[in-house]
Amino acid sequence: MKAIETLDLTKRFGSLTAVDKVSLQVDQGEIFGLLGPNGAGKSTFISMLCTILKPSQGTARVEGYDINSEASDVRRSIGIVFQDPSIDDKLTGIENMELHADLYDVPRDLMHSRIEEVLQLVELEDRASNFVNTYSGGMRRRLEIARSLIHYPKVLFLDEPTIGLDPQSRDHIWNYIKDLKKRENITIILTTHYMEEADKLCDRIAIIDRSRIIALDTPQNLKSELEGETIIIESSDNDLLSRKLTEVKLADTILKTNNELNLCVENAHTALARIVELAVSLGIHIDNITIREPDLNDVFMHFTGREIRDGGGTKALSGMGAAMRRRIK
């Protein structure tokens, strides 16, 4: 049995189609990522799987239960950490945990041992008696994860679990999520627009854009489909350099982001000498050059022609177009 199965799952809000005929399967014990910008349909998709929203069309099963006809069984099988904070900061950590345990009918003789267990998992046992309004953002997120596990769910939904957190707190949450999979033996569905988060955590990733899944595979397989390397350049005149590089066709794609040019080239070391020579002939000073292998942002650009911004939106490609070439098998 699959942990999750969907067939043509669709959600419309009037004339807007938020999720468009999504079909996929998630294996039990898998960390499955939904990667895409804000507004792509990720949260709406998992809201249907969690029975918060009813689909306009299509079907889905979670742990074998139909999300429409067996919604109560679905809810008993899942845990949810919402994108927006839902912890009561006027209560202590342990009071929040006890309230959630009561809502899920966790037996009284098991409640406190389970609370202690999950608080230890997220390293909050020493702060359990403190009011949540004294917690940092990272601590509150960890408490929400602990709370979602109190009733032994088989599937855990994490909707943008590290949004708004500082890099150190984000890294800690990543470690907890990886540990959860091992210790709790559960399936984890993760939505994110952070490339590194998806790459580090997920066994498989579905890239979702404009309400549709446009690619689905392991992070490594998705990256291996792209041919070439990326050269990142900071120069004294990125606009002029970009135009000239386009004219002489020294890059397959050119993306301008902030103060950088991102160039997709077939062979970075061969192209680099010609790029530097061109810059010198134009009187352009190059401040910094970095060469890297394709990442998930490159994958997203390959399928959409845009990049995912840090804030979750997208930015269109400029230059010679958006299509990266697939490696010839």
Question: Closest by alpha carbon to 278, among 237, 317, 309?
Answer: 237
Token pair recorded at residue 83: 């994108």
The overall pTM is greater than 0.85: no
Bridge partner residues of 25 (DSSP) = 5
Number of Cβ atoms within 10 Å of the Cβ of 286: 14
pLDDT of residue 314: 53
Fold of 223-316: Alpha-Beta Plaits (3.30.70)
According to CATH, the topology of domain 4-217 is Rossmann fold (3.40.50)
Query: Per-residue pLDDT tens for 153-180?
Result: 999 999 999 988 888 888 889 988 988 8
Q: Is the pLDDT of residue 326 over 60?
A: no
Quick one: pLDDT at residue 282? 95
pLDDT surpassing 90 at residue 327: no
Query: Is the confidence at residue 48, as pLDDT, over 80?
Result: yes
pLDDT reading at 318 higher than 50: no
Structure tokens at 53: 């929203």
Listed by start position, the domains of the chain span: 4-217, 223-316
- Residue 18, pLDDT score: 97
Q: Which amino acid is at 49?
A: L
pLDDT for residue 307 is more than 80: no
Digit-coded pLDDT (tens) for 140-154: 999 999 999 999 999
Residue 73 confidence (pLDDT): 96
**DSSP H stretches of helix in 78-107:** 93-103
pLDDT at residue 12, rounded to an integer: 97
Six-digit token pair at 87?
């912890």
| Residue 202: per-residue pLDDT | 96
Q: Tens of pLDDT along 251-297? A: 877 877 778 898 888 888 889 999 999 999 999 999 999 988 888 88
Confidence of residue 309 (pLDDT cuts 50, 70, 90): low
pLDDT tens digit sequence for 209-261: 999 999 999 999 998 877 678 899 999 999 999 999 999 988 877 877 778 89
Q: How confident is the model at residue 316 (pLDDT cuts 50, 70, 90)?
A: very low
* Distance in angstroms (rounded) separating the CA atoms of residues 300 and 215: 9
Say what the pLDDT of residue 325 is.
31
Mean pLDDT of all residues belonging to the chain = 88
* Angle, alpha carbons 94-100-101 (nearest 5°): 85
* Amino acid type, 192: T
> What pLDDT is attached to residue 155?
97
Mean local confidence (pLDDT), 48-70: 97
Q: Is the pLDDT of residue 70 over 70?
A: yes
Task: State the pairing for strand pair 155-159/212-217.
Answer: unpaired
Task: Report DSSP state, residue 309.
Answer: -
Query: Could you read off the pLDDT of 80-138 as tens digits, one per residue?
Result: 999 888 899 999 999 999 999 998 899 989 999 999 999 998 999 999 999 999 999 99
DSSP codes, 106-120: --HHHHHHHHHHHHH
In this structure, are residues 55 and 40 in contact, taking their beta carbons and an 8 Å threshold? no
Are the C-beta atoms of residues 35 and 61 closer than 8 Å to each other? no
Outline where DSSP puts E strands in the chain: 4-13, 16-26, 31-35, 57-62, 65-66, 78-81, 155-159, 187-192, 204-209, 212-217, 229-235, 253-257, 260-265, 286-292, 306-308, 314-316
- Tokens 């919402």 locate to 82
Task: With beta carbons less than 8 A apart as the criterion, state whether 121 and 176 touch.
Answer: yes
Dist CA 199 CA 208 (whole Å): 15
The pLDDT, as a whole number, for residue 322 is 32
* Cα dihedral: 279, 284, 289, 292 (round 10): -50
Burial 141-172 (b: 16+ CB within 10 A, else e): bbbbbbbbbbbebbbbbbbbbbbebeeebbeb
- What is the mean predicted confidence (pLDDT) over 15-30? 96
Say if residues 20 and 8 touch (Cβ distance below 8 Å): no
